[in-house]
Amino acid sequence: MARPPLILASASPRRRELLAGLGVEFEVVVARIVEHEHPATDPRVMVAHNAALKADWVAARRPEALVLGADTTVFIDGTALNKPRDATEARAMLRRLSGRTHTVFTGLALRRTEAGLAIDEGVSSEVTFHLLDEARIEAYLARVDTLDKAGGYAIQEHGDLIVAGYTGSFTNIVGLPVETVKHILTRCGLL
C-alpha cells in the first residue's frame, strides 16, 4: 500500500526547514483561515484551535493526504504575545520579556480525512531572557525581522543577544517541536 502524501499546512519557512530536517517528503499548502489570536485566550486552547483549523482546511481539500497543522504563541502574565503588528509592538514585547521567563506553546494537528485520522498534541517550553536595555533591543531588532514571529523574537536568529536559557524543546521555540512531530509521523508509518 502506498504511503499517503504528507502536507504541511503552514506558510512558515521555519516550519518547512524543521520538517525537511526529518528527511520526509512533503508539500506545502497554506490554509486560508483566520487564526484566533485573542491575547486573553488560554494559549493551549488557542494554538490547538489554530493548528486544527489549518489542518482541517487543507484535509477537507486533500482527504487522501496526511496534513500537519501547527501554531505557536508566547505566553507571559496571563497574555499571549502573538506576532507583533509593527516594530513599536515588537519593542514592547521584548521589554515585557526582558529579564523574565515565559512559556512557548505549540499546538499540532494531524489529519487524514479519508482514514478518519485526527491526532492533536500540545508542546510547551520555557525561555528565560537576559535583562535587555534599549541598546540591546535595538541591536536585536536591527538584525532580525521580528514581525512574523510570536513574541517578537526568534531564538534561532541572534538568540544569544536576548536569551539567557531555555528548558524543553528548542525546535518548539522555533515553531515546530520536531521530536513530537517525529513521534506522530512514526505512529502513522511515515518514518
Distance in angstroms (rounded) separating the CA atoms of residues 144 and 135: 14
Q: Which of 84, 181, 76, 68 is nearest to 123 (CA)?
A: 181
Quote the pLDDT of residue 2: 75
One-letter amino acid for residue 107 of the chain: G
For residue 42, indicate whether it is catalytic.
Answer: no
- Give 1-20 pLDDT, tens digit per residue: 678 999 999 989 999 999 99
Q: Report the percent of the chain where pLDDT is more than 90.
A: 89
The predicted pLDDT at position 190 comes to 84
Asked if residue 112 belongs to a domain, the reply is yes
- List pLDDT tens digits, range 97-140: 999 999 999 999 999 999 999 999 999 999 999 999 999 999 99
The CATH number that applies at residue 68 is 3.90.950.10
Q: Does pLDDT of 184 surpass 80?
A: yes
Range of the domain at 40: 6-187
Is 1 domain-assigned?
no
Does 114 fall in a domain? yes
177 within domain boundaries: yes
In a domain, residue 70? The reply is yes
Number of domains in the chain: 1
The confidence band for 168, taking pLDDT boundaries of 50, 70 and 90, is: very high
Catalytic residue among 71, 133, 145, 160: 71
| 83 found inside a domain | yes
| Segments in the chain forming alpha helices (H) | 13-20, 43-61, 87-97, 134-143, 170-174, 178-187
What would the mean pLDDT of 20-27 be, rounded to a whole number? 95
